[in-house]
Amino acid sequence: MDRGLRVLLLSGLAVAAAAVPQRASAQEAAAAASTTPQVVEPRVRRREVNPPGLDTENFEAGAFVGTISIEDFGASVVYGGRLAYHFTEDVFAEATLGTAKAGRTSYEDLSGSAELLSDDDRQFTYYDLSVGWNALPGEVFLGGRRAMPSAVYFTLGAGSTRFGGDDHFTVALGAGLRVLANDWVAVHLDARNLAFESDLLGKDKLTHNLQFTFGLTAFF
Amino acid sequence: MRRTALMHRLRLLTCLLLGMLAAGAVQAAAVMRAVVQDPFLELRTGPGRGFPVAQVVDRGAEVSLLRRRTDWIKVRSVNGVEGWAHRSQLERTLTTDGEPLALPGPAADSRTAHRWEVGLATGDLDGASVVSASGAYLVTPSLLVRADFAQLLGNASNGWLGTAGIAHVFMPEWRVSPFIGIGGGALRIEPKATLVQPEDRSDMVAYAGIGLRGYLTDRFMLQAEYREFVVFTSRDDNEEIDEWTVGFVYFF
């Protein structure tokens, strides 16, 4: 046998000899670990984590009062309520409900004839569902010491108006100014046009009913 | 000189307070607290991006979270400074336990990961104007369970329509995706008193619809839909009417 081959054989044997006890000791260690009792038992009680909540105020609800000019029926006092949800600092959705008592037409006053509408039918009640955009956010300064966050907003929506014994599909287009008196109370100045088709005076026409209101709302 | 001494004392006090809090010794009234991790936490004078940054809170200082409006949170620092901080910056702060602060709200992947939708729409049903409000729950990003309620305002009659159904959005991850839906509900028609047949009618309906929805922003969609209704009338024939609507959808 040549010398190189012998060295190779011997070194192979040596490696094998070294590996066998190692494998055995690994097995022993594994067996020992499975039987040894745990020395330190963790006696940590999990703490109940109850994070305090954060008051999220995206809803805004309130009431308004103002004047509405009902086409052909003069101007009347209008009042109602509004509920808004602010999705982002720019966009909100708003539901408005308002009511007013319509006056008399010029025709009724001048001719002295029978009334065109019964008392019940003169009640002008509307709702609209609108999407609003805070187009011009800013601050309003009152005197030299108070700065109040404000926004000029535009709204566009659709709804229904009950007037003259009929429900009319209504498109509501509005603009307003919202001023926050403190963190959760807002003052609104709002102008809105409620447009709907009416045939109350004989023929179909698109009526525009302009409304100007002052409102107070609370964020919650 | 006196000012620096005061600052020093304040800093000492803050450290002391922080230390006490870290040790869990002080658990004040239930107010959410956060420890600033950014170099500065910017506090604005109002809840909007246009308001000026009037104060900053240094890294490591603690703030109390007072109230939230949309993405803005009013905070108060240890020395009583108040201002509005943005959600994105507060999400980089830690709670007093050292956990990242989590504030609910739409995440970056909210287009496909959101669960709830609400919508307002308007349109036309067989000649009558439609004003509708809707809600939907997403079982998977592409499968919606939805309900709609609509008021109908026509020339000859008014009415109400309530439906519930399911919809499949083909590509919820696309900017604009088509969808289809089926469902059923109830239709109530109230003819106007001036017409000959004044009785009210309530019928069951079923619909199949097709539509398009596209993302306007990360939370808003514009949705247009066409639905074909079958009205199961009490007469011999069923009636077929169609509806189209356009509206906004917001998702949570």
What lies within 8 Å, CB to CB, of B224 at 6+ separation is: B211, B212, B213, B244, B245, B246
- A131 to chain B, closest Cα gap in Å: 8
> Does A105 have pLDDT greater than 90?
no
Per-residue pLDDT at B17 exceeds 50 = no
Residue A175 CA to residue A190 CA, distance in Å, equals 6
From CA B177, how far away is CA A86, in angstroms rounded?
26
pLDDT of residue A53: 73
From the list B68, B103, B158, the residue facing A57 with the nearest CB is B68
- Of A139, A138, A178, the C-alpha closest to A155 is A178
pLDDT at A2: 56
What does the block give as tokens for B210?
Answer: 């097709």
| Cβ–Cβ contact B25 with A under 8 A | no
Range from A32-46, A59-73, B66-80 that averages highest in pLDDT: A59-73
- Taking the CA of residue A117 and the nearest CA in chain B, the distance in Å comes to 15
Pick the CATH number of B110-251 from 2.40.160.20, 3.30.930.10, 3.40.1360.10, 3.40.50.620: 2.40.160.20
Please give the structure tokens belonging to residue A17. 């000899």
- The residue that leads in pLDDT, A7 or A114, is A114
The pTM of this model reads: 0.73
What is the model's pLDDT at position B11?
A: 60
Do B68 and A55 lie within an 8 Å CB cutoff? yes
* CA-based end-to-end distance of chain A: 96
**Domain B24-104 identical in fold to domain B110-251:** no
Q: How far does B132 lie from chain A, in Å, by closest CA?
A: 9
Q: B55 to chain A nearest CA, in Å?
A: 16
**Is pLDDT above 60 for B126?**
yes
pLDDT at A82 over 50: yes
Say whether residue B66 is in contact with chain A using an 8 A CB cutoff.
Answer: yes
Q: Give me the CATH code for the B24-104 domain, please.
A: 2.30.30.40
The pLDDT score that the predictor gives to residue B24 is 40
More confident residue, B201 or A213: A213
The pLDDT tens digits of the residues spanning B198-245 come to: 567 889 999 999 999 988 877 788 999 999 999 988 777 888 999 999
CATH number of A59-219: 2.40.160.20
Query: Range with the lowest mean pLDDT among A69-83, A125-139, B108-122?
Result: B108-122
Summarised one tens digit per residue, pLDDT across range B70-119 is 889 999 988 888 999 988 888 888 877 777 777 776 665 666 778 889 99
Q: Quick check: A129 and B67 CB within 8 A?
A: no
- Calculate the alpha carbon distances from A74 to A67, A117, A189, B85, B168 in Å: 10, 14, 21, 49, 51
Mean pLDDT of the B159-187 span: 92
Q: How far apart are CA B7 and CA B10, in angstroms?
A: 5
Residues in A lying within 8 Å of B, measured between beta carbons: 49, 51-58, 86-89, 91, 93, 129, 131, 134, 137-139, 147, 149, 151, 157-160, 165-169, 180, 183-184, 219
Q: In terms of pLDDT, which residue wins out, A79 or A108? A: A79
User: pLDDT higher for A82 or A47?
Assistant: A82
A171-203 pLDDT, tens digit each: 999 999 999 998 889 999 999 999 998 888 878
Percent of chain A with pLDDT over 90: 48
* pLDDT the model gives residue B71: 85
Reading phi first (left if > 0) and then psi (alpha if -120 to 50, else beta), residue A87 is in: alpha
The predicted pLDDT at position B1 comes to 44
When pLDDT is averaged across residues A16-41 and rounded to a whole number, the result is 57
Q: Mean pLDDT lowest for which of A21-30, A89-98, A162-171, B189-198?
A: A21-30
pLDDT at B27: 43
CB contact under 8 A, B103 and A55: no
User: Which pLDDT does position B198 carry in this prediction?
Assistant: 58
Mean pLDDT of A3-16: 56
The answer to whether the CB atoms of A183 and B67 lie below 8 A apart is yes
pLDDT averaged over every residue in chain B = 82
pLDDT at residue B25 tops 50: no
Q: Band the pLDDT of A30: cuts 50, 70, 90.
A: low
Which pLDDT value is given to residue A50? 61
What's the whole-number mean pLDDT along residues B44-54? Answer: 88
Question: Where are chain B's structural domains?
Answer: 24-104, 110-251
Cβ atoms of residues A99 and A125 within 8 Å: yes
Chain A residue closest in CA terms to B68: A56
Q: How far is CA A145 from CA A174, B25, B47, B48, B241, in A?
A: 31, 40, 19, 20, 62
CA dist., res. A67 & res. A196, Å (int): 18
**Mean pLDDT of all residues in A15-29:** 51
> Nearest-CA distance from B236 to chain A in Å?
30
Average pLDDT value for residue range B113-130: 89
Q: Is the pLDDT of residue B174 over 80?
A: yes
Domain positions in chain A are 59-219
